[in-house]
Amino acid sequence: MLGLLAPAAIALLVGLIAGGSLRGLIGARFRAWPAIGLAFAVELALYNPPLDRQAWAIAAGPWIWMIARLVIVGVLVLNGSSSSRSAWAWRIAAAGVALNTVVIALNGGHMPQSPEAALAAWGASPIDSARLQNISVMGPETRLAWLGDVFAEPAWLPRRNVVSVGDILLASGVAFWMYGTIVSGRQTRRALYAVRRDPTYRDLLRTR
């Protein structure tokens, strides 16, 4: 998870160094955000104690997770369909989550994970058959294996993970949105400065 947030953090830092402002980030509009919050809350509850060891959760959990992911895709598509300048970033993010969702649907509700990538990241596979998990071991029968978790994150990242093409697209879309929003704050600040320097604006203030 931290590895997927790293591009957004870097985009934030670069945007601020380039003269951007947090004003744009604070005022940014993200439609239907409570639905994404609910979807993430469902995932968090499903894949952690005590639900992750319940028989019903092990049986139905993958498909509940699928529904949660479809909600996330829907919200990202909704924001990507807007006329805002950041819409294209949300389209990239939506494409990433959609690719992951397709792979998960074709592999029994689990994201297939490369054993070699898991070995590189952790030294062993983290899969525990006694509880509900959202990953499965990649094998010859895996469908669209190249879209599964096949990339081990760099060793310098804290809590490194194994990620997919979809994860990279998602992280890139969020990073592009972050940078664009920060830079838009700079443009807003410049526009306000220009208005305040306008003689008409100053005359209006004097008449009040």
The CA distance from 176 to 90, in Å, is 9
- 68-102 pLDDT tens trace: 999 999 999 999 998 888 899 999 999 999 999 99
Q: Which residue do the tokens 């297939």 mark?
A: 112
What is the predicted pLDDT for the residue at 2?
Answer: 59
What's the mean pLDDT in 54-62?
95
User: Using an 8 Å Cβ cutoff, are 112 and 137 in contact?
Assistant: yes
126-166: pLDDT as tens digits? 788 789 999 999 999 999 999 999 999 988 887 889 999 99
- Tally the domains of the chain: 1
Residue 57: domain span = 2-206
CA distance 152 to 42: 26
pLDDT of residue 186: 55
Q: CB-side exposure of 171: number of CA atoms within 13 Å?
A: 17
First to last CA, the chain: 53
Asked if residue 114 lies in contact with residue 148, where contact means CB atoms within 8 angstroms, the answer is yes
Cα–Cα distances in angstroms (integers) from residue 75 to residues 14, 35, 38, 53, 66, in the given order: 27, 7, 12, 30, 14
Residue 52 has pLDDT above 80, yes or no: yes
Token readout for 28 is: 């940014």
From CA 180, how far away is CA 186, in angstroms rounded? 10
